[in-house]
Each structure stands twice: as C-alpha cells, then as structure tokens.
Amino acid sequence: MSRRYNGPPDTESLFSLKVDNLTFRTTVESLRKAFEKYGEIGDVYIPRDRYTQESRGFGFVRFYDERDAEDAIDGMDGRIMDGRELRVQLAKHPRPPNRYGGSGSRRDSGRRQRTRSLSRSRSRSYDRRGRYSNNESKRGKRYSRSASREKSKSKSH
C-alpha cells in the first residue's frame, strides 16, 4: 500500500540519507527513481541556492524503514549517477524546521532578523571647514584630526 500525504511528511519518523556529489542536472524525480528500488521513500529533498536556484550538490532521501535505508547505502554509495560517484551516508542532523524561526509559511521565510553589530566603527564626518572629524568633540576632545597633526608637528620642531 502506498502512503500518500497532503503536505510534507513527518520527517521525524523517517530514516534520512544524505547523498553527496550530485550534479546540477540531478532532479528530485531522478533521485527518487534511483533509490526507490531499495524500499518505500517518504521524502526526497535537494537544497537549492537561494539566489541562483541551482542544486547545492547534495540531497536527502528519506525512507520509512531503517533496513531499506541501510540497503540503499550499501547499494548506492560509490555508484555513478549523471557522471559522478555518489557518496551516501546516514544524515547526521535532522532538517531544521525553519531558518528564520517562523511558522514555515512563505511569508515568514523571506524575513530576516536585523541584528546590530557588537563591534561598530565610530561615526566619521567632516566639520564645517571640510576637515576630517571623528566626532570626538562630543567626548571632550575639541580638535579634529587635522588640528592634532598640526599640534604634533609643532612639538617635533
């Protein structure tokens, strides 16, 4: 009996294999076809680059049965697919639920959290006369960079 779902499968109960060394031509369908002879597949996922939408060179095949996943590792690791030698192993980490911590909807997925850098550079500007100033007058120093150069020149003469 084939298991069908109206959404993404519950990957928590599946056994995930990571498939490395995929070409850009490899599709979800071709990966599924290559692995389905080892058992019933719950999910196939090939991550894509967010800007170019090309394959990132690896994918995941998830089996319902652990024995099927082990058979797939034995049968597909080292096999040639699209001219490349595949490397197949058990996935070490589960897929994160959502990169941005949202509910997983499309609306949330594009948002980025803005964070302030802890190591900010000081604001730099020019004073009225066009001289470089590091806004240090607010910190008690009343001269600009050019004034400090003149001061150091007068000390050396």
Do residues 9 and 42 lie in contact, with contact meaning Cβ atoms separated by under 8 Å?
yes
- The pLDDT assigned to 126 comes to 57
pLDDT tens-place string over residues 8-57: 666 788 999 999 999 999 999 999 999 999 999 999 999 999 999 999 99
- The pLDDT assigned to 108 comes to 41
Residue 60 pLDDT level (bands cut at 50, 70, 90) = very high
Domain locations in the chain as residue ranges: 11-95, 125-156
Query: Which is higher by pLDDT, 11 or 63?
Result: 63
Most distant CA atoms of the chain, gap in Å: 95
Question: For residues 8 and 43, what is the distance between their CA atoms, to the nearest angstrom?
Answer: 8
CB 38: neighbour CB atoms within 10 A? 21
Q: Which CATH architecture has domain 11-95?
A: 2-Layer Sandwich (3.30)
Question: For residues 32 and 9, what is the distance between their CA atoms, to the nearest angstrom?
Answer: 15
pLDDT tens-place string over residues 97-134: 655 544 444 444 444 444 444 445 555 555 566 665 55
* Stated pTM of the model: 0.57
